[in-house]
């Protein structure tokens, strides 16, 4: 395989909803590029993409597949991405290391919520977009409706380059208004017959051609001037205008294919090779120091690792993009993130499970290697005198979680090792050994996302695991002021233990006035503050601790012990054993013994006095609330809203976004446990949502009573 230069390389992400036909299109692209001799089929489980056992089990893409095609002296690196939002990490990674996105549409449905999610990320990252309508041979395909809906959502930037002459099972021809030719295929697809446009289609084709010419001319002053002079643009000028329009997201071309019959795929590859931007046409990536790093083959060698795949009989296969310089076999590089040294023994240009060995790769190219000692996803390897680091991939918040444990408790350490390895493959699988919940929590993007991990653990690793409902991180606080005192006294021969603490607790809010006077049971307590400390709690909120001791009733040396006792009680609130927060404590009096007082005595006295005061201060349970945004087709809006209201949601607003309805709500985390599954069921998989932590709010009284009762019963069982 030849060494391709930066100005001969194009990197493309292939995106689309589940069922759009990405895997089938990949087979046709590889076949047309001569990488494979025979196209596989998803139903026969012999495709280049979806070659992992879990993908063949479920019939869905789970991992992105990196492959290349050589065409007309150009190298097209293409990453076929999973369609489901459960695997958002894969398509986000692909978008960050490529320069152009193909959004594949199922011709039966047109743009879907997933299309909009993908498009939103291309917008955020400034990536060019090509819309590609597939499945023109379907009975229910409606190409014109697809284009109309694309224009409704994305505006006049949507520009047709092709349209089919006939749709449905008899599809075999289309009109290309860039080349102004008719393309026809035999039953097996492949090489087309190219003819002049028939007279019956000339008016429509000419009208679309003129719109394309105008859109292309808009992005180049010379072409615009020529357009206004009514001079025709030749094919090369049109291509240049389209390339510039793509690069600045000034136009979104629309193509059509029938991937399963290999019709239109070769023409698509011509367009990709001739028109879409090269690596060096796009803005340079910035490193963590904020410096632009241009894809310069003569620059310092710097390689960014964006994906790890664990493959049978091989082990870790690590995928990279050459950000700068030239990478050669045998290069010794330094890991900028971990400080270790690595030798690149072999370099491959990947094509799914197949790999083609190469001796070197230049800036902008995408490849893979094996047998690296200490490289993780997101690491950068640099050559001599280069200190670049890259951290440009930002993953979405988790939307689904389960407590995870091995069926055999003795396998806990082994399970954690496997989970950490799987996190390397997909960083959106996040593991947290929660001290607060006393569970190991596995976070992901949806129910299917976590079900996939479970299948792999049990079938590939032969480890049985159990998913449990995760506990909710409730917090406790107080709603009014209360006073308590406690004497700890213990005598057992020799030196005893003695400590007495009097304190007041009250709810803490930011900016509240300093304590002065309190009244309890008709008695007034005047406070003279000697010292104040604020402690932000690890779990959120604050403890504000006042020393208001007068007359030396408790030595200052015992105050840290009292604070320690209070802190230990904050970690286990009296209502449900949850963390307590947002409390102000004033220690104003007490007693000590000249011999028997010590730190343990005052720690226990402080702990018990605080516990009693907390119980008398109107304790309440707080629950975590999340901001939830749901993107849903209008037809399902009522069902989705009713379901949310049944989950104690507070609807914050409704809006229209790019042809879909957007519903914003605040929802208790407790009610979001099975939401991804319920939403998919309600909408046939055509809606999506994002969620982010908002804050803590008081639970309703009936919910609080239920939680306290459950906690008391569980404590009885433990006794």
What's the CATH number for 289-382? Answer: 2.40.30.10
The pLDDT assigned to 599 comes to: 95
Q: For the residues 219-239, what does the mean pLDDT come to?
A: 81
Beta bridge partners of 176: 162, 181
Query: Quick one: which of 416, 399, 396 has its CA closest to 463?
Result: 416
479-618: CATH topology is Ribosomal Protein S5; domain 2 (3.30.230)
Distances (CA, A) of 194 to 181, 231, 332, 510: 6, 26, 51, 74
Taking the C-alpha atoms of 148, 152, 155 and 158 in order, what is their torsion angle to the nearest 10 degrees? Answer: -30
Mean pLDDT of the chain: 92
pLDDT at 106 over 60: yes
Q: For the residues 383-405, what does the mean pLDDT come to?
A: 93
- To which H or E segment does residue 105 belong? strand 100-106
Give the domain ranges of the chain: 6-199+250-281, 289-382, 400-471, 479-618, 621-703
> By percentage, how much of the chain surpasses pLDDT 90?
76
C-beta separation of 454 from 466 below 8 A = no
C-beta separation of 259 from 267 below 8 A = no
C-alpha span between 259 and 268 (Å, rounded): 11
C-beta separation of 135 from 168 below 8 A = no
- Mean pLDDT lowest among 255-264, 311-320, 384-393, 710-719: 710-719
pLDDT at 368 over 90: yes
400-471: CATH topology is Alpha-Beta Plaits (3.30.70)
CATH superfamily for 6-199+250-281 is P-loop containing nucleotide triphosphate hydrolases (3.40.50.300)
Residue position matching structure tokens 């989950």:
647
The pLDDT assigned to 493 comes to: 67
Beta bridge partners of 623: 697
Q: For the residues 68-81, what does the mean pLDDT come to?
A: 94
Residue position matching structure tokens 């206004």:
228
Residue 652 is encoded by which pair of tokens? 């914050």
C-beta separation of 445 from 87 below 8 A = yes
C-alpha span between 44 and 38 (Å, rounded): 13
Residue 135 is encoded by which pair of tokens? 């499945």
pLDDT band of 719, cuts 50, 70, 90 = low
Residue 620 is encoded by which pair of tokens? 């309440």
SS3 (DSSP) at 653: strand
C-beta separation of 120 from 242 below 8 A = no
C-beta separation of 487 from 554 below 8 A = no
Cα R_g (the chain), whole angstroms: 32
* Fold agreement between 400-471 and 621-703: yes
What CATH architecture applies to the domain 621-703? 2-Layer Sandwich (3.30)
- In the DSSP assignment, the letter for residue 266 is H
pLDDT at 143 over 70: yes
Q: Pick the residue with more confidence: 46 or 334?
A: 334
The pLDDT assigned to 685 comes to: 81
pLDDT band of 404, cuts 50, 70, 90 = very high
The pLDDT assigned to 717 comes to: 65
Q: Which residues contact 600 (CB under 8 A, 6 or more apart)?
A: 497, 561
Phi, psi of 705 (to 5 degrees): -60, -40
pTM above the 0.75 mark? Answer: yes
Q: What is the pLDDT of residues 151-166, one digit of tens each?
A: 999 999 999 999 999 8
Q: For the residues 310-332, what does the mean pLDDT come to?
A: 91
Q: Which residues contact 674 (CB under 8 A, 6 or more apart)?
A: 447
The pLDDT assigned to 342 comes to: 96
pLDDT at 718 over 70: no
The pLDDT assigned to 363 comes to: 97
C-alpha span between 365 and 322 (Å, rounded): 6
Q: For the residues 13-25, what does the mean pLDDT come to?
A: 92
SS3 (DSSP) at 279: helix
Q: At what angle do helices 447-459 and 412-425 cross, to 10 degrees?
A: 120
C-alpha span between 15 and 96 (Å, rounded): 13
pLDDT band of 123, cuts 50, 70, 90 = very high
The pLDDT assigned to 224 comes to: 81
pLDDT at 389 over 70: yes
SS3 (DSSP) at 166: coil
Residue 480 is encoded by which pair of tokens? 């009014």
C-beta separation of 499 from 565 below 8 A = no
C-alpha span between 516 and 586 (Å, rounded): 11
pLDDT at 313 over 80: no
């Amino acid at each position: 395989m030849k060494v391709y230069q930066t100005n001969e390389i194009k990197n493309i992400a292939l995106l689309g909803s589940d069922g759009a036909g990405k895997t089938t299109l990949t087979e046709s692209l590889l076949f047309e590029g001569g990488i494979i001799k025979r196209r596989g089929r998803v139903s026969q489980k012999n495709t280049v993409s979806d070659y992992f056992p879990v993908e063949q089990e479920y019939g869905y893409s789970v991992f992105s597949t990196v492959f290349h095609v050589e065409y007309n002296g150009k190298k097209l690196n293409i990453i076929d991405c999973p369609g489901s939002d459960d695997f958002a990490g894969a398509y986000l990674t692909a978008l960050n290391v490529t320069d152009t996105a193909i959004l594949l549409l199922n011709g039966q449905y047109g743009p879907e919520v997933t299309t909009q999610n993908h498009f939103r990320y291309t917008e955020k990252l400034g990536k060019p977009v090509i819309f590609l309508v597939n499945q023109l041979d379907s009975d229910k395909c409606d190409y014109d409706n697809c284009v109309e809906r694309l224009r409704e959502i994305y505006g006049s930037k949507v520009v047709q380059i092709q349209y089919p002459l006939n749709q449905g099972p008899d599809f075999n021809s289309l009109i290309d208004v860039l080349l102004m030719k008719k393309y026809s295929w035999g039953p097996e697809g492949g090489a087309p017959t190219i003819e002049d446009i028939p007279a019956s289609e000339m008016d429509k084709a000419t009208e679309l051609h003129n719109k394309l010419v105008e859109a292309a001319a808009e992005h180049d002053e010379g072409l615009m001037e020529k357009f206004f002079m009514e001079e025709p643009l030749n094919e090369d000028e049109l291509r240049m205008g389209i390339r510039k329009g793509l690069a600045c997201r000034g136009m979104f071309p629309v193509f059509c294919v029938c991937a399963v019959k290999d019709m239109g795929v070769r023409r698509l590859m011509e367009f990709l090779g001739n028109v879409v931007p090269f690596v060096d046409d796009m803005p340079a990536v910035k490193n963590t120091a904020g410096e632009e790093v241009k894809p310069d083959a003569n620059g310092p060698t710097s390689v960014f690792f964006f994906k790890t795949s664990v493959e049978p009989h091989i082990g870790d296969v690590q995928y990279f993009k050459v950000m700068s310089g030239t990478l050669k076999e045998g290069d010794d590089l330094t890991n900028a993130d971990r400080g270790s040294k690595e030798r690149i023994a072999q370099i491959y240009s990947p094509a799914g499970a197949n790999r083609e060995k190469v001796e070197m790769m230049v800036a902008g190219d995408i490849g893979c290697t094996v047998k690296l000692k200490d490289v993780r996803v997101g690491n950068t390897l640099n050559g001599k005198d280069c200190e670049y680091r890259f951290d440009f991939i930002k993953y979405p918040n988790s939307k689904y979680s389960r407590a995870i444990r091995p069926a055999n408790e003795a396998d806990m350490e082994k399970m954690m090792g496997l989970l950490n390895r799987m996190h390397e493959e997909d960083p959106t699988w996040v593991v947290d050994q929660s001290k607060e919940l006393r569970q190991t929590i596995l976070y992901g993007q949806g129910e299917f996302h976590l079900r996939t991990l479970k299948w792999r653990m049990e079938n590939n690793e032969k480890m049985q695991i159990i998913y449990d409902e995760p506990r909710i991180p409730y917090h406790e606080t107080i709603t009014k002021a209360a006073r308590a005192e406690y004497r700890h006294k213990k005598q057992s021969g020799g030196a005893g233990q003695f400590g007495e603490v009097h304190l007041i607790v009250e709810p803490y809010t930011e900016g509240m006035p300093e304590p002065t006077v309190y009244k309890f049971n008709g008695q007034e307590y005047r406070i003279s503050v000697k010292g104040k400390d604020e402690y932000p709690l690890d779990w959120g909120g604050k403890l504000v601790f006042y020393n208001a001791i007068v007359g030396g009733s408790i030595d200052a040396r015992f105050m840290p012990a009292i604070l320690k006792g209070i802190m230990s009680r904050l970690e286990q609130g009296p209502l449900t054993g949850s963390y307590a927060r947002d409390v102000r404590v004033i220690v104003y009096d007490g007693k000590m013994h000249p011999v028997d007082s010590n730190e343990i005595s005052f720690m226990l006295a402080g702990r018990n006095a605080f516990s009693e005061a907390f119980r008398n201060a109107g304790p309440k349970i707080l629950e975590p609330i999340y901001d939830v945004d749901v993107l849903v087709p209008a037809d399902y809006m009522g069902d989705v809203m009713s379901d949310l209201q049944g989950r104690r949601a507070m609807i914050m607003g409704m809006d229209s976004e790019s042809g879909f309805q957007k519903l914003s709500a605040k929802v208790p985390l407790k009610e979001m446990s099975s939401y991804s599954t319920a939403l998919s069921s309600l909408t046939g998989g055509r809606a999506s949502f994002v969620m982010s932590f908002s804050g803590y709010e008081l639970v309703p009284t009936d919910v609080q009573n239920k939680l306290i009762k459950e906690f008391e019963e569980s404590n009885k069982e433990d006794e």
